[in-house]
Amino acid sequence: MDLSIVIPLLNEAESLPELRSWIEKVMHENGYSYEIIFIDDGSTDQSWKIIREFSEESPAIKGLRFQRNYGKSAALQKAFELVVGDIVVTMDADLQDNPEEIPAMVDMIKNEGYDLVSGWKKKRYDPLSKTIPTKFYNAVLRKMSGIKLNDFNCGLKAYRKPVVKSIEVYGEMHRYLPVMAKWSGFGSIGEKVVSHQARKYGSSKFGLSRFINGPLDLLSIMVVGKFAKRPMHFFGAIGTFMFSIGFLILAYLSISKIWWDKTGISDRPLFYFGIVALIIGSQLFLTGFLAELVARNSSTRNQYHVTETTGLIKKESFEQSIS
């Protein structure tokens, strides 16, 4: 199968018929074999009823319904477990993503060798309260991740299937899929300018909480992605640094007390800073040690994604032996 199109949604009943027709038109014009997977994230309107009708009319349309609203990341993760297409396309259900952009993104993966192609809504039809924070967020993420994208959070993306099978999306990590792909070893990430449509029905499902949760999730993914299998390298390095600072401060105060400064050590603010540094350093080092024990006993400690093999080694048997 050529394409799997993944569409997470929440209360988008009004837009679903038009979206389906639009996608099918593009698929038929380009001769793709495809499946459309709708993930109903706990809708309270008629969305699921419409999806069931779609699936009865067309075997290419599949649906999955959550009992309650779990969030976009959970919806994407479940869809990624189900997809069978060689290329996986994600898009929103609110008609703001244009299905006619899909063929060009697929072509970039097939002919230009990209693992992931992210859309860039260069001209947006969103209020300033959303566009200004988004620009700041993208600038910070470019700096921290080293990935040169202008729009990390665009819902319209295309992936080679191994990419989505190699990453785990949870919390609100859907904003950082390019970063997760990079940490999983898929570094060929491209970008395509895509058209952005004004919202036609309903209202946005994302509130102010994203400005709090977003930076926290970014910190998590940067740390976990790089140090998940070697946590002591992260916590131990910081802990050793803090402990060394505290030790040097207390050593200096002790020597100064003995040789030239007769005032009490505890009367100096530097003394308390040194004590705090020692305590924090010890705690961080202990945290790294405990995290290392957890990582070594994890069932996934030796799971690595194998792309290809040569000689007498079969890729399938190797993956079974490490799972």
The predicted-structure confidence for 180-214, as pLDDT tens digits, reads as follows: 899 888 989 999 999 877 777 766 655 555 556 66
pLDDT digits (tens, 9 = 90+) for 102-111: 999 999 999 9
Asked whether residue 170 carries a pLDDT value surpassing 50, the answer given is: yes
Spatial contact of 126 and 140, defined as CB atoms under 8 Å apart: no
Residue 231 scores a pLDDT above 70: yes
Query: How many whole angstroms separate alpha carbon 223 and alpha carbon 225?
Result: 6
Q: Which two tokens stand for residue 100?
A: 């006619």
Closest alpha carbon to 323 in 298, 306, 299, 292: 299
How many of the other CB atoms lie within 10 Å of CB of 75?
Answer: 27
CATH number given to 3-227? 3.90.550.10
Query: Which of 55, 31, 196 has the alpha carbon at shortest distance from 123?
Result: 196
Q: Are 101 and 119 in contact (CB under 8 A)?
A: yes
pLDDT tens-digit series, residues 240-296 = 999 999 999 989 888 887 777 666 677 788 889 999 999 999 999 888 888 777 766
**Which are the contacts of 23, defined by CB distance < 8 A and separation ≥ 6?**
5, 36, 99
Q: Which of 181, 163, 169 is nearest to 85 (CA)?
A: 163
Whether the predicted pLDDT of 301 surpasses 60: no
- How much is the pTM? 0.72
Q: Residue 46: count other Cβ atoms within 10 Å of its Cβ.
A: 13
Q: Greater confidence, 225 or 182?
A: 182
The single-letter code of the amino acid at 182 is K
End-to-end CA distance of the chain: 26
80-85 average pLDDT score: 94
Distance CA 51, CA 32 (A): 21
The structure tokens listed for 36 are 């459309």
